[in-house]
Structure 1
Amino acid sequence: MTKNSHQQPSPQTQEEALKIAKGIQRPAQTKEQTKLIAQGIQQGIDLYKRQQKEKARELSKQRKKLAKQKAAETEQDDPEIAEIIVYQQHWLPWGLLILTWLGIGVYFFNPHAL
């Protein structure tokens, strides 16, 4: 027994090819001729699907390759870039806090204020 190197076409592909063949059928054309045309269309559809799958695989490989390159570039850049984050607060809240405490101190410890 020998194995077929190519797969059987799907029923959807067969139906689609038959519809197309019947759509372009000539008035004097026999059923066998229509069937042969449908088989040719079916082979064309299968070839197109294979090409599209191959293109998709190639694009996927290229995307993965680019992602790996970008990851490698960012890993190489990380040791060189050392970010130092300095949080600097505004002086206004601290100034208001000190003024408030001074005002409370003056109010309670000044004997003339009461």
Structure 2
Amino acid sequence: MTKNSVSAQTEDQSLEIAKATQKPGQTKEQTKLIAKGIEKGIAEYKKRQKAKARDLDKKRKKLDAKQESLEQSANELNDDLLSAKQSKKQRTMQASDTGSPHYYTSFAYIMLILTLSWITFHMITVH
């Protein structure tokens, strides 16, 4: 089939349409010319439909690529957030491993002992 040729099915359809709309007194040659015009119209319609389908396919592919890019960016952001949370947790654990709570506990015991000693000493010297 060449680029300008029309399928046999299209030829048959156009001839049927031309015969169905044939006027009284119209010659076979006129009917064939009308059928050729209808063929050209059908071919042009199909050509436009194919062009529209190609354009829609291109747009769909662009949208798919954008969506894939957005999904990849979202995954990267989630990974970054997860790693940030993990590093914050590690920093928190490292801060608690420095012995800071033990220092405060020891300090509290020392202050308690000093306070009790002072109260005891004060009670002994007053009586």
**TM-score, normalisation: structure 2:** 0.59
Within the candidate set 47, 56, 60, 1:63 is matched to 60
Unaligned runs of 5+ in 1: 85-114
1:7 Cα deviation after fit: 2.5
**TM-score, normalisation: structure 1:** 0.66
Alignment coverage as a number of residue pairs = 80
Larger proportion of helix: 2
Q: Superposed, which structure 2 residues align to 1:15-94 within 5 Å?
A: 15-82=12-79
Q: Which runs of 4+ in 1 moved over 6 A?
A: none
SS in 2 for 1:25: coil
What's the counterpart of residue 90 of structure 1? none
SS in 2 for 1:29: coil
Within the candidate set 5, 8, 13, 2:5 is matched to 8
Per-residue CA distance 1:34-87 (angstroms, 9 max, x = gap): 000000000000000000001011111111100000001111111211486xxx
SS in 2 for 1:7: coil
SS in 1 for 2:72: helix
